[in-house]
Structure 1
Amino acid sequence: MFEQFQRFIQSLGGEEQRDVTHDDPRVAAAALFFHVIDADGVSDPAEREKLSELLEQQYSLNKTELQKLIDAGKQAEDEAVDFYAFTSVLKRSLDAEQRVKFIELLWELVYADGERHELEDNVVWRVAELLGVSDRDRVLMRQRVAARLGSGEDG
Structure 2
Amino acid sequence: MLEAIKRFYAERIQPADQSKEDQQHRLQLATAALLIEMAQEDNQRHSMEFQAIHEGIRQVFRLSDDETAELIELADREAHEATDHFEFTNLINEHFDYQQKCQVVELLWRVCLSDADMDRYEEQLVRKIAGLLFVEHRDYIAAKLRVQHDYSSSYMGGYEDYQ
Instruction: Provide TM-score, normalisation by structure 1.
Output: 0.81
Segments of structure 1 that go 5 or more residues without pairing to the other structure are 1-12
On the 8 A contact 1:31/1:86 being kept in 2, the answer is yes
Task: Report the CA distance between 1:76 and its aligned residue.
Answer: 0.9
Q: Which residue of 2 aligns with 1:148?
A: 150
Is the CA contact (8 Å cut-off) linking 1:147 and 1:154 kept in structure 2?
A: no
Q: 1:81 aligns with which of 83, 86, 90?
A: 83
Q: Secondary structure at the match of 1:153?
A: helix
Partner in structure 1 of residue 92 of structure 2: 90
Correspondences of 1:1-155 after superposition (within 5 Å) = 17-18=13-14, 24-150=26-152, 151-154=159-162
In the TM superposition, what is the alpha-carbon distance from 1:44 to its structure 2 partner?
Answer: 0.6
C-alpha contact 2:53 2:107 (8 A) present in aligned 1: no
Q: Which amino acid aligns with 1:17?
A: I
Q: Percent identity?
A: 25
**Cα distance, 1:127 vs structure 2:** 0.5
- In structure 2, C-alpha distance between the alignment counterparts of 1:94 and 1:123, rounded to whole Å: 20
Amino acid at match of 1:53: E
Return the index of the structure with the highest Cα Rg.
2
**Amino acid in structure 1 at the alignment position of 2:134:** G
**Unmatched tracts of structure 2, length 5 or more:** 1-8, 16-24, 153-158
- State the superposition RMSD in angstroms: 2.0
Q: Under a length normalisation based on structure 2, what TM-score does the superposition of the two structures give?
A: 0.78
Alignment check: 8 A CA contact 1:146 1:153 kept: no
Q: For the residues of structure 1 that align with 2:125 and 2:47, how far apart are their CA atoms?
A: 19
Measured in 2, the distance between the counterparts of 1:63 and 1:98 equals 22
CA displacement, residues 29-72 of structure 1 (integer Å, 9 cap, x when unaligned):
01000010100011111111111111111222223212220111
